[in-house]
Amino acid sequence: MKTSLGTKRKETGGVGASFLRVTEIFHSIQGESTWSGAPCTFVRLTGCPLRCVWCDTAYAFHGGEKLPLDAILERVREIGCPLVEITGGEPLIHQGAFSLTAKLLEEGFTVLIETSGSEDISSLDPSAHVIMDLKCPGSGESSRNRWDNLPHLNDRDEVKFVLSDRTDYEWSRSVIHERSLDARVNEGSLRALLMSAVWGSTGPSLEELAKWILEDGLPVRLQTQLHKHIWEPTRRGV
């Protein structure tokens, strides 16, 4: 399967890794992306090279349990949900994440990869659905955006912007136009562009963000973190 810009993702990921360091595996409702609202099994891997100022999963930076890939697969099978997300932390710092993705796909699961955009996605199995952040200036990590990932995104994939203020919105709007992401969504070669506000009092309100999007006619999807509306926002494993 070729990407929209004619670049094929490699069919296999990293080899040789037989285990992963896992923070948690749990069954919940998908809270973000175009998959929001769907039951989903989450495999949260440990470790991240970024330190976004608004990060809500800092507990996944360290620790975790070293698990063989077979043990992870068995747990996912036991849960029995057809939709699986591999997340973090930053999952793609782990060689075994590529192997786990391929194995899950081989078993017929639909696999989402939630990534910060700082790591190379080109070796991911092309049947996975990538949900990739582009870090805005307010995150403190916009210098870590790996722009050469963009050509590897295809019509399964989504790009997410998390906004802390109006400056982040204007930066995102510029990126969408300058990188032709709006054109790719309109032509169907990119699944979606997502915009959300940092949770809590530091980010723009949903009403403000909706107003900005409508005024500019951006082809984006406004999203909120649904799981934080269902459960207490700091609760783990949901």
pLDDT attached to residue 1: 32
β-bridge pairing 65-68 and 19-29: antiparallel
CA 58 to chain centroid: 16
pLDDT tens track of the chain, all 238 residues? 333 333 333 333 334 568 999 999 999 999 999 999 999 999 999 999 999 999 999 999 999 999 999 999 999 999 999 999 999 999 999 999 999 999 999 999 999 999 999 999 999 999 999 999 999 999 999 999 999 999 999 999 999 999 999 999 999 999 999 999 999 999 999 999 999 999 886 778 999 999 999 999 999 999 998 888 888 787 887 7
Token digits of residue 198: 């940092």
* pLDDT tens column, 61-110: 999 999 999 999 999 999 999 999 999 999 999 999 999 999 999 999 99
pLDDT attached to residue 201: 67
Token digits of residue 155: 């019509």
Residues in Cβ contact with 63 at an 8 Å cutoff, skipping those fewer than 6 apart: 23, 46
pLDDT attached to residue 229: 82
Cβ 154 vs Cβ 126: under 8 Å: yes
Q: Provide the b/e sequence for 174-203 (b: ≥16 CB within 10 Å).
A: ebbeeeebbebbeeebbbbbbbbbbeeeeb
Alpha-helical regions (H) of the chain: 69-79, 95-106, 166-178, 181-187, 206-216, 226-230
pLDDT attached to residue 226: 86
Residue ranges of the domains in the chain? 19-230
What order do you get walking across the sheet with 129-133 strand by strand?
65-68, 19-29, 39-45, 83-87, 110-115, 129-133, 158-163, 192-197, 221-222
Cβ 158 vs Cβ 130: under 8 Å: yes
Looking at residue 144, its amino acid is R
pLDDT attached to residue 118: 97
Q: Which CATH class is domain 19-230?
A: alpha beta
Residues in Cβ contact with 6 at an 8 Å cutoff, skipping those fewer than 6 apart: none
pLDDT attached to residue 236: 84
